[in-house]
Amino acid sequence: MSNLISWDHQRAFLAVIEEGSLSGAARRLGVSQPTIRGWIAALEEALDTRLFSRSVNGLTPTESARALVEPARAMSLASDVFVRAATAAPGEIAGTVRVSVSETMGIEVIPPMLVPLRRKHPRLTVELFVTNKPADLLAQEVDIAVRTFAPGQDALIARKVGTIPLGFFASIDYLERRGWPETMADLAGHDILGPDRSAVDLRLGNAAVPDLRPARYALRTDCHPARIAAVRAGLGITVMQVPIGSGDPGLRRLFPDTVVTSMDTWIVAHEDLRSVAKVGAVFDHLVSAFIDFIGGHGKPAGRGSGLP
């Protein structure tokens, strides 16, 4: 039976599962909807089972289909690793390296770091996977991850690059209109931009401004880059990474001696990639770049050789 099953058909199956429709799968894979329909029909015939029940509401995976999702995802990840590994000759710093970062890091921090990397290695491509969910390094969903927690698996190697403090920031325009809060208690009378439903962020917000309930925030969102953008627009005061806020000439830090919380920051990779030149080059560059980024704002780790 395995000789009858095409990888294209399995890719189509996974795309329909994850996109929820034939049309979504077609857009994702860059083929027509009838092609996707034909691939799914061929897969069902090869497996001799029904994978989706069809109704006016679209496609619903059957029990057989749900049992095949994780194996299909594992094959997809393996295919991605195969393609990335084939993009450069052994020892050559070229090809694709996939890096996982949070939304804030991906928007505010990483892009400037990639400029000198690309100048040094113009044949290197960084595939940026921007997500607040931890990527699966063990399954090699990505090659490198920037994390704010220490990895616990033995198969991973990591370098702690420092500790990033978080503090209060507002725009110059906002402070000129509303005045500078002189004490932490004064924040209750200002426009605070805070979290919406994130339990972690809500606990942080309550600890940082205990006299102000979330219902009274001027803006609520769990998207950190959106809060940063709102502060830059002059909408109010929020908590952000000190190196980001201090690097923006339009923002001012309030209560410079107050650190709301801090984040240990790690560059992490799978140990099997230690000998891959392109991964090592990106790993070492990120270690150095983050140490420079954190600078005197955190507690930077000593420089090292990166991948052992």
- State pLDDT tens for residues 20-53: 888 888 898 888 888 988 888 888 888 888 888 8
Contact between 241 and 104 (Cβ < 8 Å): yes
Instruction: Say if residue 254's pLDDT is above 70.
Output: yes
Q: Which residue has the higher pLDDT, 237 or 56?
A: 237
- Model confidence over 150-202: pLDDT tens digits? 887 778 889 999 999 999 999 999 999 999 999 999 998 999 999 999 998 99
Fold match, 2-78 / 165-262: no
CATH number of 95-163+263-297: 3.40.190.10
Residue 295, SS3 per DSSP: helix
Residue 16, sorted as left (phi over 0), alpha (psi -120 to 50) or beta, turns out to be alpha
Report the range out of 22-36, 134-148, 212-226 with the highest average pLDDT.
212-226
pTM score: 0.71
pLDDT score of 142 more than 60? yes
- Record the tokens describing residue 75, joined without a space: 């094959």
Band the pLDDT of 299: cuts 50, 70, 90.
Answer: very low
Per-residue confidence band for 89, with pLDDT thresholds at 50, 70 and 90: low
Could you give the CA distance from residue 250 to residue 234 in angstroms, rounded to a whole number? Answer: 10
CATH superfamily name and code, 165-262: Periplasmic binding protein-like II (3.40.190.10)
Contacts 24+ apart (CB under 8 A), 45-54: 46/1, 46/4, 46/5, 46/9, 47/1, 47/5, 51/13, 52/16
**CATH number corresponding to 2-78:** 1.10.10.10
Distant-in-sequence, close-in-space partners of 189: CB < 8 Å, separation ≥ 6: 181
Annotated domain spans of the chain: 2-78, 95-163+263-297, 165-262
